[in-house]
Chains A and B, each alone.
Chain A
Amino acid sequence: MNKEHLGHGTVRSYLTGFILSISLTLLVFFLVNLHISSGHITISHELLTGAIIVLALAQLVVQLIFFLYLAGRGSSARWNLVVFLSTASIVLIIVIGSIWIMNHLNYNMMSGSNMNVYMQNEEGIHK
C-alpha cells in the first residue's frame, strides 16, 4: 500500500517541533507574567499584545511544519498548503473585518457622555 500520503516526519522532527512549541509557550507565559507581576507597567499594552500574537503565529508555523508537514514536497502537501492558505485568508477577513466593522458601529451607537470620553481618549479633543 502506498504509505506516502500518510505523512512524513521522524522522531527527530516531532521532537524538534515539540521543544520549539514548549519554548514558545513558556516564553509568552513568562512575558505576560512579568508584565502582570510588575503591575502592568513593564511593557506597553499594545506591544505585549503584539508580542503575544507574533509568538502565537510563530508556534502555529512550527506546528504546521513539524506536526502537519505543510512544508513538504509532493503534490498532496502542496494542495494542503494551498487550501490552508486560502482558509487562513478567510479567517483573517472574518476576524479583522468583524472587529473593524463592529468597532465602527459602536462609534455610531455611542451615547453623549460616552462620546465625550471617546473624543478625549481616542481623538485627543478636549472640550
Chain B
Amino acid sequence: MYCRPPKSRKLKPGEIQMDKHDNNDKTIFGFWVYLMTDLVMFAALFATFAVLRNNTFGGPQAGELFSLPFALSETLILLTSSFTCGLGILSARSGDKNKTILLFASTFVLGTAFLAMELSEFSHLISEGNGFQRSAFLSSFFTLVGTHGLHIAAGLVWMGILIVRILKRGLTDSVLRKLTLLSLFWHFLDIVWIFIFSIVYLIGVI
C-alpha cells in the first residue's frame, strides 16, 4: 500500500540538498517561533508575579529583601555576556576559530558568574526563612527568577557542548547554524532579564 524507499543513497560528505539554503531560514525561524512561546510562558509568570506581588502574608516585602547594587551587578554581567556572545557570532561568521572560542568562553564565564550570584541570593533568602514556602509573593519571585535561571543554566550547557564541538570539528556550517540559534537564545534571556530587573527589583523597592 505504501511505497517503500527502494534504492536510495546516502548524502555524500559535504553534499547539500538543493533547497538546503532554505534550511537555515526554516530552522532559525522555527527556533524564533519557539522563543516566542517561551516569551508567552514568561509573560504568564510575570502576570502571576504582578498579581501576587503584595501577598506577603505578613512577611517582608520586596524593598526589605532585595539589594539594588547586587541586582545591578547581575544585570551588567549578563549584558556584557550578551555583547561577547554577539561578537562571538561575528567571529564565527568570519571563520576565526580561536577568537570564536575565546568569546564564547568569556560568555560562558560571565553566564556562570551571573548564575552563581543568583544562587547565592536564593540561598541567602532561604536561610533567612524567606524561602518560596513563606508566602505567595516569595513563591512567585522564586519561580519567575528561578525559571530564568534554569534557562540560563540550559544555555550554559548548550554553550559548553558547542565550544567542545568547535574545538573538535571546527566551524562547520551546521555548527555555525547552532551557534546562531544559541545566540538568539542568549540575547532573548538577556531581554527577559531586563524586565525581571525592572519589574521585580526596581519597581519592587521603590
Instruction: Spell out A's residues near B (CB within 8 Å).
Output: 1-3, 5-7, 9-11, 14-15, 17-18, 21-22, 25, 28-29, 32-33, 35-36, 40, 45, 48-49, 52-53, 55-56, 59-60, 63-64, 67-68, 76, 79-80, 83-84, 86-87, 90-91, 94-95, 97-99, 102
Contacts and interface: CB of A to CB of B under 8 A. Distances in A.
B194 A33 contact: no
B154 interface: no
B117 interface: no
A102 B51 contact: yes
Contact of A3 (B29, B50, B51, B93): B93
Chain A interface, >50% SS class: helix
B201 to A, nearest CB: 9
Contact of A87 (B36, B72, B79, B93): B36
Most B-side CB within 10 Å, residue of A29, A45, A60, A64: A29
Contacts of B188: 68
A32 B194 contact: no
27 contacts: A1-B24, A1-B173, A3-B176, A6-B176, A7-B89, A11-B90, A14-B83, A14-B87, A15-B83, A17-B86, A18-B79, A18-B80, A18-B82, A21-B79, A22-B76, A29-B68, A52-B199, A53-B198, A56-B194, A60-B191, A68-B184, A83-B29, A86-B36, A91-B39, A94-B47, A97-B47, A98-B47
Given A56-B194, A63-B187, A76-B29, A90 B43 contact: yes
Contacts of B72: 25, 29
A36 B69 CA distance: 13
B191 A63 contact: yes
A87 B28 contact: no
A32 B46 CA distance: 21
Q: Top 4 closest A-B pairs, CB basis? A: A98-B47, A56-B198, A2-B21, A91-B43
Contact of A25 (B79, B183, B203): B79
Contacts of B206: 32, 35-36, 40, 45, 48-49, 52
Interface residues of B, number: 50
A25 B36 contact: no
A120 B140 CA distance: 30
A26 to B, nearest CB: 8
Nearest to A106: B51
